[in-house]
Amino acid sequence: MAHEKGALTHMDGARLLNATVATGIAPKNYAESFDTLWIDLSKGLGAPVGAVLAGPSDFILNAWQWKQRIGGAMRQAGIIAAAGIYALEHNVERMAEDHANAKRLAKGIAKAPGIGIDVDSSIGHFRPRFWRPITRRIRRTRKCHRHTPDKIDPTHRHFPIRC
């Protein structure tokens, strides 16, 4: 839809390589419908800092010029670039180890009393077992009603809920 309206699209690929390792889908397949892409080299890859911005050459030139204008120039950047290159060449496959370790940690945390954790997601989420989302509490304490905007009475604290 963005392209139909003449807008460019951008993929924040901070965790793109995590998704690639977890699913086996090539990064190109994830990114092919976007005009530009950002890959963070410090999230999961182990580089101390750095990122890669990819896109058409005129876009990259314009981005580089703006980076320079607003003080983004960095002296001695070669050593940092070397760390990023090393991370891309050696640490992508190692992400599978990170995923396995994260799952093992999540399973261990899930055994702790009072903690619930989703061990099947690629990113661990946890919440205390006693906590319930507000919609669940509302469903348990009130009858489910279909509300249309004209029937909602804010003075009686009725909430539109889909059952």
Q: What is the CA radius of gyration of the chain?
A: 23
| For the chain, domain boundaries | 10-90, 99-156
- Grade residue 24 by pLDDT with cuts at 50, 70 and 90: very high
Predicted model pTM? 0.63
Q: Can you tell me the distance from the alpha carbon of 147 to that of 22, in angstroms, rounded to the nearest whole number?
A: 42
Q: What is the pLDDT of residues 125-151, one digit of tens each?
A: 555 555 555 554 444 444 444 444 455
pLDDT of residue 75: 79
Q: By the 8 A CB rule, do 45 and 87 touch?
A: yes
